[in-house]
Amino acid sequence: MRPRRIAVLVVVVAFAGTVFYSLWNSEPLRISGQHLVRKGSSVWIEGTVENESSKPEKGDLDIKYYDGSGHMLGEDRVETGSLAAGESRSFRSLERDADRVADFSIGVNLSRNPYGN
């Protein structure tokens, strides 16, 4: 192999390694045990959020509710507060009067811009 090809190969492998490392460590807050709770016509989401990074993290959980056809019915935001490295904490969304809720999704938002999105 020519030295130039070896250099290009090294750069490509280093770039790919950087991308995989960044993707692997991109979400320091992990959600687990999330489930939909029903009581009468009220629903809410419960679960656990864990800080998997080596430094304190703070974020919001953006929860979206969907009906059986996949149409969004509403959304909530749950603040996690500051979590120390390795700390886990239970969370619970606000109760919603929504007996049509069939499913939900949770997204982790680590920072908001000045415009709120």
Which residue carries 């996690």 as its tokens? 80
35: alpha, beta or left? (left if phi > 0; alpha if psi -120 to 50): beta
Q: Which of 90, 99, 103 is nearest to 36 (CA)?
A: 103
Q: Which of 67, 54, 47, 22 is nearest to 108 (CA)?
A: 47
What span, in angstroms and rounded, lies between the C-alpha atoms of 61 and 29? 10
Task: Record the pTM.
Answer: 0.71
What span, in angstroms and rounded, lies between the C-alpha atoms of 43 and 96? 5
Domain spans in the chain, listed from the N-terminal domain onward: 28-109
What pLDDT, in 10s, does the model give residues 40-55? 889 999 999 999 988 9
Confidence bin at 22 (pLDDT 50/70/90)? low
Q: Class of the 28-109 domain?
A: mainly beta
